[in-house]
A and B are shown apart, each in its own frame.
Chain A
């Protein structure tokens, strides 16, 4: 079977994965619930964010470089997301087939950015040096301190995002636009700018996830597609009824993935996750948590 400390180790790595997926899936879910489009470029936002941070760590070393890189990456990616709204979504917003068109435009953007990364940084794998080393003991199991930090910061970032959406005027305006665009327009809210802000925020969370993933795994121009797929599973599994739905689902997916990798091997883990997703789609298509399809 499995010894207690191995179990704890596998569980801990599952929880870490869950934190990263939560960060990515929430970004995806926020765009989906607000704009009603699915952003296939979310994966390359992760990759681009990681590369920006990596570039900074090349000239500024140590944890200062890491912090600086992460901050710069989050800020720049917010800008990228903001601008991309005007390029990818806005020109088609009066079209009846917006959802389908956005699939194509975001896929196109993903492809262009991915190849852009390949041109600029090359295909060789890179890794961002973890800012902190050493391990933390958890009932006999040794867990990397970097992983613990990542989990903490990811959860903190989600908490900040939740508070922003609930408590600030800007966040409330974003939720208002998500729930009823026409009524929001009649209140004089600048819908386009709020949409752009939403994609910007989503890209910023993706960048943060990218920086974290970049410090635990290798980064390559296409490495965003795997987390994107996992986030898709998370969003479908958990639904988007509440802000917390994808977060809870992310931890389920992360832990399930981690245990499948341990027991069934790396190549069977996606099959397990997709089987879970199919089961949820069959039994409770709106997702495990909450019963409505579209809110924030």
Chain B
């Protein structure tokens, strides 16, 4: 594996006082694509939201290209509920810092901006790239990747189908010129045809060597896309599998829950 791009060191977090994931350590290398597989409600999305800077980590570090993105140390617990801690306690990680570093998180089932048109949303998206060059080329590629969005450019997001919204979400992520793109269940709740279309698009993104973290419930989908698969179970990474020995869906379920899942 080449040098680590993103590294999580003993990361713990959750929604205080509920701890959701504990001691997660993982890394993603340059040009690498990593899959995260695990059942619903085990904390994958919470972990990724923490990495993206939406939720404060409790402990541990998020390091990207050798730079720590979160504040040092542990989160101090609240002693009293009758006190405005937010005045004194700064956020421990900021989405703006993470985006600036180049880590772009594409939320799961994202509604984006319901009252804006596709064109307006795609116009705002490159703001995340903070003036880096290459937006024009990326716009071309996005057109090529999702021709359907071109047809629907004057529609409000509210009127798009689930699949089209997902396409807009991914397009927004790409227009931010990510150095690492995190896709959280891109095919969630889509019809088989749309699912295929989207899988095709993700494959093309993969081929363009953008480093990826992909979460999905479907191992068959992941196995063609990722170099490594991490099994995520009860808030921790329990197993790491490389591409050569990719299990089938049933095998993976068996690894996590025993034979009689």
Q: Chain A residues in contact with chain B, CB under 8 A? A: 91-95, 169, 172-173, 175-176, 179-180, 182-190, 295-296
A180 to B113, CA, bound (A): 6
Q: Any chain A CB within 8 A of the CB of B107?
A: yes
Interface 1/0s, chain B 211-235, versus A by CB < 8 A?
A: 0000000000000000000000000
In the complex formed, the residue of B with least CB distance to A177 is B113
Q: Of all chain A residues, which has the CB nearest B94?
A: A185
Q: A172-B120, A173-B127 are in contact. Are A296 and B104 (CB under 8 A)?
A: no
- With beta carbons under 8 angstroms apart, the residue of B54, B87, B123, B130 that contacts A172 is B123
Residues of chain B within 8 A of A185, CB atoms compared: 53-54, 95-96
A241 nearest CB neighbor, chain B only: B115
User: How far apart sit A92 and B114, CA to CA, in the bound complex (Å)?
Assistant: 26
Which among B87, B115, B130, B172 is the interface contact of A175 at CB below 8 angstroms?
A: B115
Given A91-B86, A92-B84, A95-B84, does the pair A188, B116 have CB atoms closer than 8 Å? no
Q: How far is the CB of B102 from chain A (nearest CB, A)?
A: 10
Do residues A186 and B99 form an inter-chain contact, with CB atoms below 8 A?
A: yes
Contact: A183 with B86, CB < 8 Å? no
Q: Which one of B54, B87, B128 contacts A182 once the chains associate, using CB atoms below 8 Å?
A: B54
CA distance A251 to B120 in the complex (A): 30
Task: Judge whether B52 and A186 touch: CB under 8 Å.
Answer: yes
Q: Is B127 a contact partner of A188 (Cβ separation < 8 A)? A: yes
**Is B130 touching A188 in the complex (CB atoms < 8 A)?**
yes
Chain B residues with Cβ below 8 Å from A173 are 124, 127
One of B100, B112, B113, B124 near A169 (C-beta < 8 A): B124
B195 to chain A, nearest CB (A): 22
Instruction: Give the docked Cα–Cα distance between A296 and B128 (Å).
Output: 22
Scoring B residues 31 to 72 as 1 if CB is less than 8 Å from chain A, else 0, what string do you get? 000000000000000000000111000000000000000000
Contacts of B116 in A (CB 8 A): 172, 175-176, 179
A-B contact pairs, 25 of them (CB 8 A): A91-B84, A91-B87, A93-B86, A94-B86, A95-B86, A172-B120, A175-B115, A179-B112, A179-B116, A180-B111, A180-B112, A180-B114, A182-B54, A183-B107, A183-B111, A183-B112, A184-B113, A185-B54, A186-B95, A186-B99, A186-B128, A187-B172, A188-B95, A188-B96, A188-B176
CB–CB B124/A172 < 8 A? yes
User: Hey, which chain A residues are within 8 Å of B172, CB to CB?
Assistant: 187
- Whether, in the assembled complex, B150 has its beta carbon less than 8 Å from a beta carbon of chain A, the answer is no
Residues of A within 8 A of B115 (CB): 175, 179, 295-296
Q: Write the nearest CB–CB distance from B106 to chain A, whole angstroms.
A: 8
Which of B95, B104, B120, B130 lies at the interface centre, i.e. has the most chain A CB atoms within 10 A of its CB?
B95
Residues in A with CB closer than 8 Å to B128 are 186-189
* B143-202 contacts to A (CB < 8 Å): 172, 176
Taking the closest CB of chain A, its distance from the CB of B13, in whole angstroms, is 16
Residues of A within 8 A of B110 (CB): 183
**B186 → chain A closest CB, angstroms:** 15
Contacts of A295 on B, CB cut-off 8 Å?
114-115
A182–B124 Cα distance when bound, in Å, is: 15
